[in-house]
Copies of this chain bind each other. A is one copy, B any other.
Amino acid sequence: MSYKILDGKKISEKKLLKIAKKIKTLKTTPILAVIFVGNNSASEIFINLKEKACKKVSIKTQLHHYTKTNTKHLIKLIQELNNNKQITGIMVQLPLPKNIDKEKVLSEISFEKDVDGLNINYFGKILNSDYGPCTPTGIMELLSNYKIKIAKKNVCIINHSNLIGKPLALMMLKKDATVTICHDKTNNLKEHTRIADIIITAAGVPNLINSSHVKKGAIIIDAGVKKIKDKIYGDVNFESVKNKVSYITPVPGGVGPMTIASLIENISKVKIK
């Protein structure tokens, strides 16, 4: 079987071109406030990529970097950014250090400025709008760009975080997929992946998925990110599965750029008052 690549890099670049044109028509330059705590090297890479993408479409970024801080201070910072009319969007780079109450901090971000979809108080909006965090939104858009039908498909999601697995499940249900949500406590992963038409994995475990996990013709979205000695690895053993699947995302160049393009699009959509 010959596989096709789901080229997130290409699709996202097209998308960014469109957004750049739209931003040129705006009266004010949008500004994204980026909050970064600690010095996680993967976070640094992601922030760098987001800043680059912003620059490409003429969005300004404002980095708030603290090597150490606390919940109270971050809440105060977010309240200030919420009230600051110059700031278009607010993004907190995850993970946050363990001393910080993540949900408390994220739940301070106002709905209008929550361009990354981090505040779970808006989770319900996924059910009756296009709202959704950036990674699931990027994945849905990648599939839609390749005209991959979702309805009636078995979709197996390996991730149950508030940021990826859960919202993605809701978005897939909206498109009439049958959805299975697996995670590190799943008893027998193969039992679920083998009946899946579409597998979306974001476990951060290289080689989690090989050809024995996938059925012939399956579609594989690899949103895994694990950095080992300066190289980024997904969850899927590409060589093992490639001749069994119909579509597959590369890592890097699949989900990552789509996530960033979703963030940029969300910033471009904020109504500046």
Contact = CB atoms under 8 A, between A and B. Distances in A.
A151 interface: yes
Interface string A141-171: 0000000000111100000101001100110
Interface in A113-150: 119-128
A226 interface: no
Given A124-B120, A127-B162, A160-B173, A180 B183 contact: no
Nearest to A178: B186
Q: Copies per complex?
A: 2
A124 to B, nearest CB: 3
A185 B152 contact: yes
Contacts of A191: 154, 195
A179 B178 contact: no
A187 interface: yes
A192 B127 CA distance: 24
A80 interface: no
Contacts of A182: 178
A162 B128 CA distance: 10
Given A166-B170, A169-B181, A170-B166, A187 B152 contact: yes
A217 to B, nearest CB: 14
A176 interface: yes
Contacts of A103: 128
Contacts of A178: 180-183, 185-187, 192
Contact of A180 (B125, B170, B176, B180): B180
- Which one of A103, A180, A183, A195 has the greatest number of beta carbons of chain B within 10 Å? A180
Contact of A120 (B127, B173, B185): B127
A149 to B, nearest CB: 12
Interface string A48-90: 0000000000000000000000000000000000000000000
Given A180-B180, A181-B179, A187 B154 contact: yes
A261 B121 CA distance: 26
A180 B165 CA distance: 13
Contacts of A123: 123-124, 126-127
10 contacts: A119-B124, A123-B123, A127-B162, A160-B173, A166-B170, A166-B173, A169-B169, A178-B180, A178-B182, A178-B192
Interface of A: 103, 119-128, 151-154, 160, 162, 165-166, 169-170, 173, 176, 178-183, 185-187, 191-192, 195
Smallest CB-CB A-B distances: 7 pairs: A123-B124, A120-B124, A176-B185, A180-B180, A178-B186, A152-B187, A121-B124
